[in-house]
Structure 1
């Protein structure tokens, strides 16, 4: 087995499962109760992630006239849930962390069933898609995604429920370890796919940054129009704008065995930090910036 195969077939799914286990350990029933008691923000966040992202991806594909591989990679990415990174950005932006974790977990647990069906539909109906190249076996994909994302989350939640004190003691270690491991995996993937580096400065890089940046801005504006409070508004925007590229990479590398399809998720894992950090910086400084305007009005 080559290094590239070891990274994509063993390390990537294992690390993704570890990330989802850590997320499960951070969940308690009360987190879901708070969302159930005030479901408006959660419903809006869920619907925006389910519909806004794929629509944005289709618009970007059309406007930039992306080739079939880039288009498929971008659309696949748009179907992925948020991840630990979105929770981290919500924390930095002083958002609603419970809402962030709940949205991430709900979409992650549903994605093994929703993602393959919508992506197969995209492959089937896209005039540019080549079914021989982009062949996603539906049921095997659902099973593998469930094993890597849904099952570790349920295991983590069960451990938290039955062994609360122990789970809280190991949670920081698992979260830190999974974050470092994911960074190492992405680095290894970049090193074994060095041709991705020029793509950062191409139309592919523009597509990735556009998807993240537009999703952050549009979700934030829509949540504001729907009278969501500022804390939840930040959280919704970040959950919609920051996706778990690891899920898309696993599908491309491990399930579909199409390294070229993983170019966009790999680029996203590197480049999405630019609009995400700019957006969070703006959120944290927006109140300070708005103050002089009020004083001079």
Structure 2
């Protein structure tokens, strides 16, 4: 099967549901965001600068090189580039917490990055997609309008974020009660949507299963590794490295999937990559976070043991 010629089927009502879920995700992020989070960027700009450069510049560039190295079909390559150009996902904060990383930094980075990505995403996708030897033909076919995409992103993530941010500022107690429900309902809704998309187009997914599993596995590993390597090169402390790793490695593939159906008519390779990434990203992130937490607990236990029995230390 030539995945470049495949278009996935999706009911218009499902797209409305997806946009609602994506808006709820951004609303939940904003409910957990305050002016202090943005002020924290000014107090600790190095971590933020490292995370932004890694996400906005390095990840799309490395992804572009990976598509050429793997020699994937054009629609799959464009799907990988789209995911790399998407903003960070809010589950990065959950994973940072589980890994015992700097959650406050994670919240600040996600808040700032999502605002910046309203403008960066269309430009980045047009630039890197337009450079790709086989992916650019799909951009030309849809005549991608950066302003139209920016307006769509503003509606999906900008307005819900502004609404949640204002609610947090005006009614912090109400925001604190609503935030956990918004976070988990939106996450469950997004996973449910992606699963439904894959099940509803199962024949297409099975036909490209091998290449998509391998591509997404490698791409996700590269994204997480790039986040960690950037933080390590920037000489950030351990807790900050964890936050930056997940900030760069966890992408809002749900938004990418919505854009595939809005601007690319459900193009097979793009949709399958974005859909599977949304599931695998969570699985891989949980594994990394759990291993990180286990290693941290062991290190803390060893330190406590040495402190309790100093005579046993040579």
Give the TM-score taking structure 2 as reference length.
0.86
Q: Deviations over 1:64-91 (max 9, x none)?
A: 1011000000000000111122111111
For the aligned residue pairs, the C-alpha RMSD in angstroms reads 2.4
- Aligned counterparts of 1:123 and 1:244: Cα–Cα separation in 2: 18
Are the aligned partners of 2:98 and 2:290 in contact in 1 as well (CA < 8 Å)? no
Deviation at 1:140, TM superposition (A): 1.1
- Mapped pair 1:122 → 2:143: no
Deviation at 1:200, TM superposition (A): 6.9
Determine the structure 2 residue equivalent to 1:176.
Answer: 184
Determine the structure 1 residue equivalent to 2:252.
Answer: 244
- Aligned counterparts of 1:109 and 1:33: Cα–Cα separation in 2: 15
- Mapped pair 1:283 → 2:301: no
Determine the structure 1 residue equivalent to 2:223.
Answer: 215
Q: Which has the larger radius of gyration?
A: 2
Counterpart among 230, 250, 265 of residue 238 in structure 2? 230
Are the aligned partners of 2:64 and 2:128 in contact in 1 as well (CA < 8 Å)? no
DSSP-derived class of the 2:39 partner: helix
- Aligned counterparts of 2:220 and 2:33: Cα–Cα separation in 1: 26
- Aligned counterparts of 1:48 and 1:123: Cα–Cα separation in 2: 18
- Aligned counterparts of 1:132 and 1:240: Cα–Cα separation in 2: 29
Provide the aligned length of Structure 1 versus Structure 2: 294
- Mapped pair 1:93 → 2:102: no
**Runs of 4 or more above 4 Å deviation:** 289-292, 294-297
Deviation at 1:286, TM superposition (A): 3.0
DSSP-derived class of the 1:81 partner: coil
Q: Name the stretch that deviates more: 262-271 or 167-176.
A: 167-176
Are the aligned partners of 2:30 and 2:165 in contact in 1 as well (CA < 8 Å)? yes
Q: Which runs of 5+ in 2 are unaligned?
A: 1-8, 307-311
Deviation at 1:143, TM superposition (A): 0.4
| Correspondence list, 1:1-297, <5 A | 4-8=11-15, 10-128=16-134, 129-130=136-137, 131-198=139-206, 201-260=209-268, 261-287=270-296, 288=298
Q: Deviations over 1:158-210 (max 9, x none)?
A: 11111111111222222222122222212221222213542674222211111
Q: Deviations over 1:107-137 (max 9, x none)?
A: 2112121111121223333221214434322
DSSP-derived class of the 1:82 partner: coil
Q: Cα distance 1:200–1:69, how it changes in 2: closer, same or farther (>3 A)?
A: closer
Are the aligned partners of 1:196 and 1:267 in contact in 2 as well (CA < 8 Å)? no
DSSP-derived class of the 1:272 partner: helix
- Aligned counterparts of 2:283 and 2:132: Cα–Cα separation in 1: 30
Q: Cα distance 1:178–1:36, how it changes in 2: closer, same or farther (>3 A)?
A: same
Q: Cα distance 1:132–1:39, how it changes in 2: closer, same or farther (>3 A)?
A: closer
Q: Cα distance 1:36–1:73, how it changes in 2: closer, same or farther (>3 A)?
A: same
- Aligned counterparts of 1:52 and 1:209: Cα–Cα separation in 2: 18
Q: Cα distance 1:123–1:55, how it changes in 2: closer, same or farther (>3 A)?
A: closer
Deviation at 1:256, TM superposition (A): 3.0
